Amino acid sequence: MKIGISKFQTVVKKIALADCGQSMTEYALMCALVAFGATAGYHNLAKEVANAFDTISSDLATSLNLGSGDHPGHHHF
């Protein structure tokens, strides 16, 4: 059975387009999953950074005696 070149090309194009559509859907789902994971990760990272700044601020205030009443010669900022 002979198949003409144009008919063969049409079949190949249909198969390629079908695979491309499926691949694009898979890529879109993977991108959505990565974006969701990154968003969740950024939320946790923001909490950790805020905690680190609170700790640093508290330690700095303690070392400069800013948190404990008025002392002669010490200035409050």
| 3-class secondary structure per residue, the chain | CCCCHHHHHHHHHHHHHHHHHHHHHHHHHHHHHHHHHHHHHHHHHHHHHHHHHHHHHHHHHHHCCCCCCCCCCCCCC
**pTM for the whole thing?**
0.40
Q: What is the pLDDT of residues 40-75, one digit of tens each?
A: 888 888 899 999 999 999 998 888 887 555 555 555
Rounded to whole angstroms, the Cα distance separating 14 from 50 reads 54
| pLDDT beyond 60 at 3 | no
Whole-number mean pLDDT of the chain? 76
